[in-house]
Amino acid sequence: MKKRYARPVSAVLAVLILSSVFALAACGQTGDVMLKLGKAEITENMFVFWLSRYKAQFIYGYSSSLKQAYGVSSVDAFWELTDPESGKTYDDVFTEFIYQNALTYLTALDLCNELGISLSEEEEKKTEETIDSLKSELAEGSKTEFNAILAGYGLNIATLRRCYNTEKLVYKLQKTLFGAGGPEEITAETVEKYYRDNYQRMRQICIFINKCPEKGDSGEYLTDSEGKVAYRDMSAAETTAARERASDALARLTAGADFDEVAATYNENTASAAYKNGIYLSEEQVYRAGDGTEKLFDALCEMKAGEIRLVELENTLHVIQKLELDEGAYDKAENSDFFSFYDSSSGGYVSLKDYIITPLFLDYIEKRQSVVKDRIECRDEVREKHKISQVAANSIF
């Protein structure tokens, strides 16, 4: 597993939690101070909250693929495996990743202090309303019972309040910097540069090996009880024949045959055939998916425009041709499947222009962190008390 596999936690900055130093409860109610930068502080309980929140997100997004890819019976067993890149257990790798995010948030809080960014009374009031709603729903309004539920995740009401307020505070900082009129305002040039720095474009011929979709008498894909395409195991002879077809397709294209004509004969992925303008892949999307498509992205990064290559994934062979990036692809309707991004805060989809605010903000904070790192204080004895494997998965708060 590459370290980039953990990237999703950065991609969901807006739904993670941090500490605010503005008008919040004393540290005694939210745990010992773990990190400090100027007046900004990250406490032990907040670190546990981040671990538990991300653990739930990780289990939801990757539990099935982990079992298949690593042969483990549960996510708990995955934490004990060793990451070949670092030589550390995945428990240590992911715990360290959350710690690095804590440093990112600490740096953002310090910048809030410098810029004088704080929450309004109305914004803090909405936090109280959210907590009251949870207390009513989960504990019939009982503060004692609600705190008992929170304790199962290493929390209490004071920590939850602090985390929720900080979520809003960091979002406010992000908008201040990158919103309209901000010093880092997103322009058309910013979007185009991000697109060219982060995307690859290709067309492909896909051929199934090992497993293939079940088809009905009319050639339609059959589905399972969950409504997903049903797959069957292919025989060794079928897989051998599939490899021969992929080799034939590659040979014809290398000899100069028209790609569309060859694809019409060999391509078994009807969905990809619909993308007449090509398929667009970004590093963050393929590594977030965790389905092997990062191999396609990595190959494209090595290739020159026009080059053709055969790439093998677990159950598919891909004859791909790299295409030049076309200007403004993200604004074209025919490419909408590749440039629409779900925004959990609004429950809808946003454009690339809105989506890139978060990664650009993270890069901005990372650069600032490199400047202030010598002023950051860390209590290692507090930090080392907790691991992602040991916390409860928090999908509620």
Domain segments of the chain: what residues? 3-186+356-383, 193-341
User: 193-341 architecture in CATH?
Assistant: Roll (3.10)
Between CA 104 and CA 165 the distance in angstroms is 17
**pLDDT attached to residue 284:** 85
Between CA 320 and CA 308 the distance in angstroms is 6
Own/partner pairs, 176-185, CB within 8 angstroms, 24+ separation: 176/115, 176/117, 177/361, 177/364, 178/357, 178/360, 178/361, 184/360, 184/364
Between CA 382 and CA 32 the distance in angstroms is 7
Q: Specify the residue for token string 């891909």.
A: 318
- What is the dihedral sign for C-alpha 122, 128, 129, 131? positive
Question: Is there a contact between 293 and 286 (Cβ–Cβ < 8 Å)?
Answer: yes
**pLDDT attached to residue 21:** 32
Pairing of strands 279-282, 231-233: unpaired
| Encoded amino acid at 207, one letter | I
The upper half-sphere exposure of residue 236, i.e. CA atoms within 13 Å in the direction of its Cβ, equals 0
Going by C-alpha positions, the residue among 63, 309, 23 that lies closest to residue 169 is 23
Going by C-alpha positions, the residue among 275, 359, 285 that lies closest to residue 321 is 275
Per-residue pLDDT of the chain (397 residues; tens, 9 = 90+): 333 333 333 333 333 333 333 333 334 566 799 999 999 999 999 999 999 999 999 998 888 778 777 888 889 999 999 999 899 999 999 999 999 999 998 999 999 999 999 999 999 999 999 999 999 999 999 999 999 999 999 889 999 999 899 889 999 999 999 999 999 999 999 999 999 999 999 999 999 999 999 988 887 889 888 788 899 999 999 999 999 999 999 999 999 999 999 999 999 988 888 899 999 999 888 877 767 889 999 999 999 999 999 999 999 999 999 999 999 999 999 999 999 998 876 778 999 999 999 999 999 999 999 999 999 999 999 999 999 999 999 999 9
**pLDDT attached to residue 348:** 86
Question: Is there a contact between 195 and 359 (Cβ–Cβ < 8 Å)?
Answer: no
One-character DSSP codes across 280-307: EEEHHHHHHHTSSTHHHHHHHHHSPTT-
Question: Is there a contact between 191 and 330 (Cβ–Cβ < 8 Å)?
Answer: yes
Q: Where are the alpha helices (DSSP H) in the chain?
A: 8-11, 44-70, 75-79, 90-115, 121-139, 143-151, 157-178, 188-198, 236-254, 259-266, 270-273, 283-289, 294-302, 352-355, 357-372, 380-383
What residues have CB less than 8 Å from 19, skipping those under 6 apart?
Answer: 30, 40, 41, 42, 43, 46, 105, 106, 109, 162, 163, 166
